[in-house]
Structure 1
Amino acid sequence: MFSVSHIFQFTASFFEVVSLNRVGGSTPFVTLDYGTFLGAQDGNLTSFLGIPFADSPVGDLRFRLPVPPPQLEGVQRAVSFGAACPQHALSPLPGMNFTGKYTKVSEDCLAINIIRPSFKLVPGRNLPVLVYFHGGGFEIGDATETRMNDIIDRSVHSGEPLMVVVPNYRLNGLGFLAGKEVKEAGVSNLGLQDQRFALQWVQKYISSFGGDPDRVTISGVSAGAVSVAMHLVSLDGNPNGLFHSAFMLSGGPLRLPSVLDGQSEYDLIVSETNCSAERDTLSCLRRVPLDQIMAAINKTRDIFSYSSLNLAWQPRVDGDLLRREPYESLVQGLYAKVPSIAGTCDDEGTLFSLANLNITTDEAFSEYISSNYLKGTTSAEISDVLRAYPRDPTKG
């Protein structure tokens, strides 16, 4: 059986590889127009971690669209993951802990991470790029949640090497605040806007790392897969050259509320942070200390509360990035016509039912789905659902 080193040597010779630019003999570095970044090599893998792709969204930049990072002086060490974006506190589940063990959590979290085999193809043969959006219900998670090294090793084994790019994006109320004030300011769906900004960064800079900007696949699991679906239908399905294929696992084009439907959460946060008396409540929220605004966000429902996947924080139809219900975009053909794969993890839904174990009767189930997911439906339509999902699953 061939070892990883044998496969790597064969692949290297086959593609006539040349070394990355190096400082000090073995340390890879890349110079971009806003800074020089020193990466790390570990065996057959080279990584550049924690590179800022946007300015820090704190202070006056909180609740604003992403903007380019500032000019960075000197050589920047890109050898460890950056801070995780602030995380929503989840309702406890018996015997389970979904709190990430992050070295640092900060609003200064819009960093991108590049992992690739330790070789660069000759000009014209750069590596295809897999951009991965992490999951976490749009409430938790960061770029460290999934080991990308295994994917790259597998690609080298198969003789089809690729590089993986994983960006962070704003989460929960910091990334998906909604309401009329948000709509009027044009700052809805900031988490998706961060992802899109990261894709623009990839188009501009990934060739400096040996990646091919004309072969970018966007991918993700759970909320990451939903994100991919949102990019497929955003802007009437125009990808603007940011990606060329898509992969979704356990997520897709959901039914979305409008940005105006998030007013109750907005008002709660304004009230909890003592911004109610301000004429411009959004500006007030930009000045609130992070711990105070997160304490308010943590009072909203989460993925393991009774409402489960009826999320407080998620993408919303805003008439701008997402112009209509995703299903309507699909029916009208207004989606990106790129090769796509979609799949689902087996029995994944069980996890999200653990907070609702007290729903044991048809009456309780009817109330739950009508109040949480099917608002405005008729009793006859609810009856149809009950027939499709009877108390005894063997009869369904």
Structure 2
Amino acid sequence: MTTSFAQVMIFLGLGIGIIILLTAVFRVHAFFALLIACFVVGLGVQMPVAAIINVTKQGFGHIMQSLGFIIVLGTTLGVVLEHTGSTKVMATYILKRIGEKHAPLAMSITGFIVGLPIFCDSGYIVLSGLNKSLCRRTGISVVIMSVSLATGLYSVHCLIPPHPGAASAATTIGVDFGRLILVGMAVAVPATLVGYGWARYAGRKFNNEEPGQAPVVDLSLPTPSVLLSFLPVIVPILLIGIKSFIGIDANKPVPDWAGLFMVVGDPVIALAIGIIMALLAVRSWKKSTVSNLLQEAVEKAGGILVIIGAGGAFGAILAATQVGQHVSKVVNLQALGIFFPFLLTAVLKTAQGSSTVAIITAASIVQPLLPALGLDSEMGKLLAVLSMGGGSMMLSHANDAYFWVIARFSGLDMRPMLQVYTVASLFMGLITLLMVFILSLFLL
């Protein structure tokens, strides 16, 4: 298979365009959009149909092998925390510590912590009832409160596993989960603060907004204590982080005492421990309740897994076209460095709306370009994933499902959403890029 640079670029652009067109305009599920793009790119560079099918199967299977258990268990942990009321317990505790006067900051911090294991849209829906009641009790604008909560959730959703975009990108690029979680949390803090700061500044002009109807969460089970609510979130992160630091030097043997941490620090085991702790936080369970929760989690994870698998298939097709070699011969990617993954992901995100699809697609394109970008070291790969995470924040607007979750459950119309939340997502992406660039000066 001999193809020119122009031919590869034309059909790569066509494949990306098809993904954007099908998902953003025709609302086709991302799995089918990515699968169609595989065949468009493959046929365009003259791959035999049998080879396309074989490569897509291998790409799908590889990503499932790496991420399947993590996505299912991460989703399950989030569902259990929602239904036990642990998320509201954490939010209430943070609010008491910070005070109602600083309620927006409390909601921002709550979003950051709750968002670690829970997808941003689910976290927002669960916490919107508390957000609504605080708006009425404190008299603070619902725009300020809602965007503070939304940006806290959004920052970790775009940057940290087990969220599907970051987890998939880490697997594709080859980044250790523990390091990504720890460094990603540090990078997400400025993004959260910028989102909160812009909400406080730009939301002041919308003081007359009334909070919309929030969902009523029926908690038939008694809520857990504060400690038991936080532990299922904190313990898995600590275990994964400890394992990452123990194995940071691959040339040194792991001490005998550290063997246990190498096992329990595996993301699959760590998340399973988190689920068990979340379930044990409630003293009594009905068999039907546990069964329904696990059923809900598996069904929710299934939709995510097929998108990630299709993203892996698309990445395998791109690898087979040797796009990295073609681009590196023509474009001076070394000069772009850490900015290229950010810009590529930002364009994809803004065009089609889904942060997950944007970062999965971008990771497939960036992976073969890492040597040309000067990012093929361990730290370079980590910074590339964080750069793509920042790009996947920009811009959240009317083609993003999370945008409408915020608007629906806060009762906000388009004007405050665009002026406050969308602009906040822009600033969050830019500050993330700035943080990654500063890190690159010291780590590369």
TM-score category of the 2 structures, normalised to the smaller one: under 0.3
In the superposition, the TM-score normalised over structure 2's length comes to: 0.20
Structure (1 or 2) with the greater helix fraction? 2
Structure (1 or 2) with the greater strand fraction? 1
